[in-house]
Amino acid sequence: MLTQSIVASPTYEFAADVRAGLTRPQQKELLSKYLYDDVGSALFEVISFLPEYGLTRADERLLRRHAPDVVEFLPAPVAVAELGSGSGKKTRWILEALCRRQRTSYYPIEISHTALAMCARELGDIDSISILGFEREYLDGLLEVAAQRRHGQHLLVLFLGSTIGNFDRPAGVNFLREVRHILVPGDAMLLGTDLMKSNSQLIAAYDDQLGVTAAFNLNLLARINRELDADFDLSHFKHVARINHEARSVEMHLLSTVQQTVTIPGAELLVEFLEGETIWTESSHKYSADEAFQLARESGFVCRAQWIDEEWPFAESLLIAE
């Protein structure tokens, strides 16, 4: 078993993105990718175990039950690249099924160094696997993986956990098109999509009683304090989850409970907040099962197979690059 990690330079654009997002004229916004620093990634692992948040368990159930079915659709040899691997726990089922057939190269792509380290520890005991992690943005990492492929080798791209739901629908299609441009015909993507469910179930999932999701969201302000020397007072902000019926999404916001001024020296920024004003930090879009087929068609794939969890409506769809 070979385990390595290729480490990217520091995220130099963090300050620029914070400045751009907090100076938006109508709705202040921070990019959701910045939720996942080391602290945020650890908190999200806790969220995945909460009784209200069934998404991760549904994802794992489908992968555990249908990993052999997924592998049957894939040509040999195939390497695996995962966009946003997290700890890699749920990826084990796919990798073990593949490694029973062939020696497998696995490339987790993450912006969190801690998540990559957890992934290597979680999966390093699988026989016939080599792990090479990339601390990169999704597309940058995938380009590097594709450049390393051997002649005749196909790629399976894993995009699990409904991460596609963090994009609005047009942006999601554009992202999948970018992925498709990196791939060659016959390559595959396993795409997770969270399916529509009741409003009460969604609000509970994104605003749990223990307050773990609130801590996850508020950590973004703490990260700005740590990395950009800001003076956010976290006690003056409140986590809020909202249903956006038009977009068919759940939005996470940080609501300012008082009128206040925050200084962010690392971004050369002074920000005024009105009482009740929010920072929009994340959206999670929900789909119908049929929409995976539409996403595939619009982005240069064909949906070859789909598996749905009934306990927590969730779909895994196998897309093949045309």
pLDDT over 90 percentage in the chain: 88
Predicted local confidence at residue 7, as pLDDT? 47
Strand-strand pairing, 28-29 and 278-285: parallel
Enumerate the domain spans of the chain: 13-40+203-285, 55-197+286-321
pLDDT at 11 over 60: no
pLDDT over 70 percentage in the chain: 96
**Arithmetic mean of pLDDT, 242-253:** 97
| Residue 94, φ and ψ in degrees, nearest 5 | -65, -45
pLDDT at 73 over 60: yes
pLDDT band at 4 (very low <50, low <70, confident <90, very high): low
Predicted local confidence at residue 8, as pLDDT? 42
Residues 185-213 pLDDT 10s: 999 999 999 999 999 999 999 999 999 99
pLDDT at 6 over 80: no
Task: Please indicate, yes or no, whether the overall pTM of this predicted structure exceeds 0.75.
Answer: yes
Topology of domain 55-197+286-321, per CATH?
Rossmann fold (3.40.50)
Question: In angstroms, how far is CA 301 from the centroid of its own chain?
Answer: 20
Predicted local confidence at residue 113, as pLDDT? 83
